[in-house]
């Protein structure tokens, strides 16, 4: 269904590849999305799916998809931590900006 929906977009005039992305969900499930545009009308279209299995390539429809597919495949193999789970070396001041001193520089200098 993923490849069929993408091919329908291509034949409907969505000729500009914008973005292909993915995010890990619970278990082995991933959400994958495609954003393309019609270069004549400027309209954008999005399709998304959830899957446990690898999806077929879309690079025969949009050449730019190939690079994104390789990046998504590479990242799928890495355990990623969420930003909120990492400690930040600085602190947030009341203005909302995060301030920190570079390594080797003491504060106030």
DSSP for residue 81: P
- Cα separation, 109 vs 96, in Å, equals 22
- Asked if the structure places residue 61 within a domain, the reply is yes
- Asked if the structure places residue 9 within a domain, the reply is yes
Q: Which domain holds residue 31?
A: 2-99
- Asked if the structure places residue 32 within a domain, the reply is yes
CA atoms within 13 A on the CB side of 103: 0
- Asked if the structure places residue 95 within a domain, the reply is yes
- Asked if the structure places residue 107 within a domain, the reply is no
- Cα separation, 14 vs 26, in Å, equals 32
Work out how many domains the chain is built from and give that number. 1
Q: What is the pLDDT of residues 35-85, one digit of tens each?
A: 999 999 999 999 999 988 888 999 999 998 998 888 888 766 655 444 444
- Asked if the structure places residue 109 within a domain, the reply is no
CB distance 93 to 99 below 8 Å:
yes
pTM as predicted: 0.68
Strand partners, 48: 33
């Amino acid at each position: 269904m993923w490849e069929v929906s993408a091919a329908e977009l291509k034949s409907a005039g969505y000729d500009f590849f914008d973005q292909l992305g993915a995010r890990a969900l619970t278990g082995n499930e991933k959400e994958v999305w495609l954003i393309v545009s019609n270069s004549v009308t400027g309209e954008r279209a999005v399709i998304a799916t959830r899957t446990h299995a690898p999806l077929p390539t879309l690079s025969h429809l949009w050449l730019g998809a190939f690079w994104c597919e390789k990046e998504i495949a590479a990242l799928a193999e890495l355990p990623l931590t969420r930003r909120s789970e990492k400690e930040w070396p600085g602190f947030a001041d009341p203005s909302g900006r995060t301030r920190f001193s570079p390594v080797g520089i003491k504060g106030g200098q």
